[in-house]
Amino acid sequence: MISFPNAKINLGLNVVQKREDGFHDLETVFIPININDALEIIPSKDSTSLQFTYSGLNIIGNTNENLCVRAYYLLQQDFKLPPIQMHLHKNIPMGAGLGGGSADGAFTLKILNSLFNLELTNTDLESYALKLGSDCPFFIQNKPCFATSRGEVMQPIEIDLKGYEIVLVNPNIHISTAKAFSNITPGIPKKSILEIVQQPINTWKNELKNDFEKSLSNNYAVIEHIKNLLYHQGAIYASMTGTGSTVFAIFKNEEQKPKIELPKEYQVYFTKIII
């Protein structure tokens, strides 16, 4: 079975408070976008419980910690899963705020549920996904939503971005989530992101913020530089997504695609939201 885990962007991201369990309460709007990895899982005749291979972008770290692998063993605790072969083709940049790893883990849960008829509901899958990471439950629903708590409390919303073009620029900088949170000072926002995104899009520039942009600006000035370039090219709204380092911009139509000269190591994507 083959599936194509997609990336996401955050429209605004407020870190509200630190929790007693060490995590943070936040609020954000998750938007699925059409940039994808490819994930294939098939039953294996080999006696090994899991064979994991990958291609595409290099995956840093121990593959046993990959969320696809962890998702398999998480379900293995409650279900007698047969041996499988799993291959991940990695296209979504890592440590970029696009949620690629979280998507891979969540889609692994969904594939295993379908492939082996586990009969798990979306609510069940979201509970397993939260054990993998705070962003993972979103990719079970995979629809625009307003998210609170760790990100797992989700309220579906309507975001009318039909006809808009989304441009992403990744400066090839890997930012760890833990490092991003280490410089954050939590606080309750004056206006909820849910209220702001329901306003006309031309008001977002002055009101819709990502708390991590300010906290990371001293060490990663390139993020603000890219954002300013995109505004100079006519973006209606531009922001860093997640904990960085990718910056996205919303343009009115395809004819407004920016023509920016960027270093060769930067990755540029043109995409739309997934409706």
CA within 13 Å, CB half, 233: 23
All residues at 6 or more sequence positions from 140 whose CB lies less than 8 Å from its CB, including other chains:
106, 109, 110, 122, 125, 126, 129
The amino acid occupying position 230 is L
Burial class (CB in 10 A: 0-12, 13-18, 19+), 46: exposed
CA distance 35 to 222: 23
Q: Indicate which residue of 37, 104, 135, 211 is catalytic.
A: 135
Active site residue 21: no
Q: Indicate which residue of 8, 90, 110, 209 is catalytic.
A: 8
Active site residue 8: yes
Cβ neighbour number for residue 121 with a 10 Å cutoff: 10
Known catalytic residues?
8, 135
